[in-house]
Chain A
């Protein structure tokens, strides 16, 4: 009788095992939660990042939250957003650091709670970053400098309009540009200003710079708002012919400027790819396929000037397909 009972128990256990395995199957199909913390939610660059991120989120069935501070200098808000996202149970962060150093602690803390970290666009000083997806900023800086060197003859006096000094990618770009100018032997960086990543302020600071250094004939602006500001300053001062402006990223204003002459070349990054690959990498990390991820993934950059402005590839790079407004 005792044997009978143990056998019955065994069978029951087997059945339960079977049922529970069914149960875990259905449980495993829940959505992963990923939070994208951007530098800004306003610029076209970031809107394009969000479009890419959302495309990947749909494709990989990830619940994506997108947050970003009002201004591109507000690393404290970013830190708070990281903490909030972790508190709300996000499993992975796709993060673009305003401040290479001051964002590190928040990221480390999040990573300490088991959150996977993917850096896009601008890296952060943390060993917890699983992969960095973005432009090779040094090379992009070189590219901007080379664009000026190739298109402008003679000796160059260069003004650099950069944004927040603590932002890693701006500094990398600046270093790449400065190195390239130095190597060319016919260019000299006359002045570097760090302005806010906001078009109005950038325009004011650029005007001041140009007034102070009228000898400047090449301007480099290292992100979208500073490029817009610089382009407006050049136009307002009527220096479109005299000043060769190399900007970053695409904005309708800089594209207008490119056609009208105030902007002479744009280094166009691939924000859609950053968003897409960022979320894709986060998904891979969460679903245990993180082994194949590269340490850094270089999303392509291209130079757009008047000659190739409306080539089909440039169109695709510069103008995102607008979503239907309904």
Chain B
């Protein structure tokens, strides 16, 4: 992956992951919001219901208490009609039965305490203030009535909270009113123990909003806590939810008392909702993580083989010859793509090698055609020389020349083989030199130094002749003194090295470059460049010509080729 150029555009991984996670997140958000909204309203409804239930239970209990009290009052009233003895007996039994009755008192028409029945207690001799009976109120009412809870004040060192019911008695009797003091502690402790949620509570108030009983009245009267009873008194029986508090107001049947349940939104609703929010957040995180993982895996499934394919293409682009394709796995689409690419790689490589082979073949054909050409000037000049020798009667020389020429041609053709033994090549070069020496009237000498071990190796035909031709034409032709051409053939490891040295005028760097570049067009014959090209085509880039030259000292051309035995290269 390192070779990949950074490009614009997003990776498939990024797109896929972003899209999947984004879509999931949006859906999740919507669902969570919707769900929490529903959940909250359900919880609020639940809180309202539980609050209403708690309050209606309290209301029932209080109303039972009051009904019970009415019944007890009925009994008391009945017993008051009896004679004094049976009355005492009846009330004694009644008190035994009803331990929650604190006292039964009877009053004369002018409000004086006549009698008191109480389990094991006697009233004070002088009662400072009797909260159980109010003559003015009793007169005003004229019917049974009930007080708010108050402290029983007629006993010494005993101050329980009671509710008093006072009823007028039938006129004629000694007593005009009877009061029943019923302990309030059962109700107060019941109300104290009512809890709506953890902190919610109930209290009793009358229809005007005066608090009848509140579990925390010590906090209320000292101003450390307050209840907005005036506002609550104006409300109908129902459940009211505001920002922080749920109020539930219910009237107590058979009285003007009302039960108010107070509970806290924070505790009943918000805490649940917060728990749920936390839970849903955790779930959302899990779902998002799962989505992330899934999309990431998916994108890997898609993206990785594609990237593999891309990098394969890139390395194919960089080096098509030595590229070998390993198919990329993945989804079926990717596999198909991969297979197609594999086929394409094979085809392209086949095409490339075909093209290259054809090119080489073309070159070889071209060179063969050139080899077949005989410089007509050379032939003309040589024949001219032979004719001239014959005219002069130098038959022996003429015969030598004709032989040399014949050898030259025979070797040149060599039955159409490209590679010939080095011995033959040397023979060819020697024939050529012989002819030229005659033509140049012994202006130069030549000498062969051949390692005999090399003779059996093969080489391209007509390798030395163009070099020697060049040495004669460029090196020796312009010389005044006698020139010398030295041809050596030796081994260098696995290579055969030919060397043609002359002591001619030498060549400048520019001349060497131009000779190596010159094509066969401006001159007839093969030319040095072609020799070089041919060696490289046949044996590779490391083989070929190397020219070193020094002006006025001479030129040395080194030809390097591998050791070749017969037949090993002919097929190429």
A18 and B216 contact, CB distance less than 8 A? no
Q: A18-B285, A319-B159 are in contact. Are A313 and B219 (CB under 8 A)?
A: no
Q: A322-B185, A323-B189 are in contact. Are A273 and B161 (CB under 8 A)?
A: no
A252 and B286 contact, CB distance less than 8 A? no
Residue of A nearest to B157 (CB): A252
What per-residue 1/0 map shows which CB atoms of B107-124 lie under 8 Å from chain A? 000000000000000001
What per-residue 1/0 map shows which CB atoms of A304-326 lie under 8 Å from chain B? 00100110110111111111100
B296 and A55 contact, CB distance less than 8 A? no
B153 and A310 contact, CB distance less than 8 A? yes
What per-residue 1/0 map shows which CB atoms of A25-39 lie under 8 Å from chain B? 100000000000000
Quick one: which of B177-223 are within 8 Å of A by CB?
A: 184-186, 188-190, 192, 195, 198-199, 201, 213, 215-219, 221-223
Q: Which residue of the partner chain, among B153, B157, B199, contacts A59 with CB atoms under 8 Å?
A: B199
Quick one: which of B147-196 are within 8 Å of A by CB?
A: 148, 150-151, 153, 156-161, 184-186, 188-190, 192, 195
B289 and A309 contact, CB distance less than 8 A? no
Apart from A55-B192, A310-B153, what 14 extra A-B contacts exist at CB < 8 Å? A8-B293, A11-B289, A21-B282, A25-B275, A52-B219, A59-B201, A253-B157, A259-B128, A309-B129, A312-B148, A316-B217, A316-B221, A321-B184, A324-B189
B279 at the binding interface (Cβ < 8 Å): yes
Q: How far is the CB of B182 from chain A (nearest CB, A)?
A: 14
B159 and A60 contact, CB distance less than 8 A? no
Q: A18-B282, A252-B157, A253-B157 are in contact. Are A300 and B223 (CB under 8 A)?
A: yes
B518 at the binding interface (Cβ < 8 Å): no
A299 and B222 contact, CB distance less than 8 A? yes
Contacts of B216 in A (CB 8 A): 55, 272, 276
Residue of B nearest to A3 (CB): B300
Quick one: which of A7-60 are within 8 Å of B by CB?
A: 7-8, 11, 14-15, 17-19, 21-22, 25, 48, 52, 55, 58-60
A234 at the binding interface (Cβ < 8 Å): no
Contacts of B396 in A (CB 8 A): none
A299 CA to B192 CA in the complex, in Å? 22
B131 at the binding interface (Cβ < 8 Å): yes
B98 at the binding interface (Cβ < 8 Å): no
**What are the nearest 9 A-B pairs in CB distance?**
A272-B218, A324-B189, A300-B222, A18-B282, A259-B128, A321-B188, A252-B157, A315-B151, A270-B222
Q: Which residue of the partner chain, among B150, B198, B217, contacts A61 with CB atoms under 8 Å?
A: B198
Q: Which residue of the partner chain, among A7, A22, A61, A319, contacts B279 with CB atoms under 8 Å?
A: A22
Residue of B nearest to A258 (CB): B128
A252 and B158 contact, CB distance less than 8 A? yes
A277 at the binding interface (Cβ < 8 Å): yes
B224 at the binding interface (Cβ < 8 Å): yes
Identify 24 residue pairs between A and B in the complex whose beta-carbon atoms are under 8 Å apart, listed by A's number. Answer: A7-B296, A8-B293, A11-B293, A18-B286, A21-B278, A21-B282, A22-B282, A52-B218, A52-B219, A55-B216, A60-B198, A61-B198, A252-B157, A270-B218, A270-B222, A272-B216, A273-B219, A300-B224, A310-B150, A310-B153, A313-B221, A315-B150, A317-B218, A321-B188
Q: Which residue of the partner chain, among A15, A19, A60, A276, contacts B289 with CB atoms under 8 Å?
A: A15
A258 CA to B279 CA in the complex, in Å? 62
A11 CA to B221 CA in the complex, in Å? 59
B221 and A15 contact, CB distance less than 8 A? no
Quick one: which of B477-494 are within 8 Å of A by CB?
A: none
Quick one: which of A51-86 are within 8 Å of B by CB?
A: 52, 55, 58-61
Q: How far is the CB of A262 from chain B (nearest CB, A)?
A: 13
Contacts of B157 in A (CB 8 A): 252-253, 256
B278 and A14 contact, CB distance less than 8 A? no
Q: A59-B199, A300-B222 are in contact. Are A321 and B285 (CB under 8 A)?
A: no
Q: Which residue of the partner chain, among A4, A11, A310, contacts B129 with CB atoms under 8 Å?
A: A310
Binding site for B on A (CB under 8 A): 4, 7-8, 11, 14-15, 17-19, 21-22, 25, 48, 52, 55, 58-61, 252-253, 255-256, 259, 270, 272-273, 276-277, 299-300, 306, 309-310, 312-313, 315-324
Contacts of B285 in A (CB 8 A): 14, 17-18
Quick one: which of B4-39 are within 8 Å of A by CB?
A: none
What per-residue 1/0 map shows which CB atoms of B260-279 lie under 8 Å from chain A? 00000000000000010011
A207 CA to B72 CA in the complex, in Å? 49
Residue tally, chain B, CB below 8 Å to A: 47
Q: How far is the CB of A143 from chain B (nearest CB, A)?
A: 14
Q: How far is the CB of B86 from chain A (nearest CB, A)?
A: 32
Residue of B nearest to A312 (CB): B150
Select the residue from B189, B224, B285 with max chain A CB neighbours within 10 A.
B224
Contacts of A313 in B (CB 8 A): 221
Contacts of B275 in A (CB 8 A): 25
Q: How far is the CB of A80 from chain B (nearest CB, A)?
A: 31
Q: How far is the CB of A321 from chain B (nearest CB, A)?
A: 4
A248 CA to B151 CA in the complex, in Å? 20
Q: How far is the CB of B164 from chain A (nearest CB, A)?
A: 13
B198 and A324 contact, CB distance less than 8 A? no
Residue of B nearest to A272 (CB): B218
Q: How far is the CB of A94 from chain B (nearest CB, A)?
A: 16
Q: How far is the CB of B247 from chain A (nearest CB, A)?
A: 17
A277 CA to B124 CA in the complex, in Å? 38
Q: How far is the CB of A166 from chain B (nearest CB, A)?
A: 28
A14 CA to B291 CA in the complex, in Å? 13
Q: How far is the CB of A318 from chain B (nearest CB, A)?
A: 8
A256 and B156 contact, CB distance less than 8 A? yes
Residue of A nearest to B282 (CB): A18
B188 and A319 contact, CB distance less than 8 A? no
What per-residue 1/0 map shows which CB atoms of B373-392 lie under 8 Å from chain A? 00000000000000000000
Contacts of A255 in B (CB 8 A): 159
B199 and A317 contact, CB distance less than 8 A? no
Q: How far is the CB of A114 from chain B (nearest CB, A)?
A: 26
A310 and B278 contact, CB distance less than 8 A? no
A48 CA to B222 CA in the complex, in Å? 14
B289 and A14 contact, CB distance less than 8 A? yes
Quick one: which of B448-464 are within 8 Å of A by CB?
A: none
A213 CA to B292 CA in the complex, in Å? 93
Residue of A nearest to B288 (CB): A14
Q: How far is the CB of B296 from chain A (nearest CB, A)?
A: 6
A306 CA to B184 CA in the complex, in Å? 25
Contacts of A60 in B (CB 8 A): 198-199
A324 and B186 contact, CB distance less than 8 A? yes
Q: How far is the CB of A307 from chain B (nearest CB, A)?
A: 10
Q: Which residue of the partner chain, among B161, B190, B286, B300, contacts A319 with CB atoms under 8 Å?
A: B161
Contacts of B148 in A (CB 8 A): 312
A252 CA to B151 CA in the complex, in Å? 12
A25 and B221 contact, CB distance less than 8 A? no
Contacts of B198 in A (CB 8 A): 59-61
Contacts of B150 in A (CB 8 A): 310, 312, 315
B222 and A7 contact, CB distance less than 8 A? no
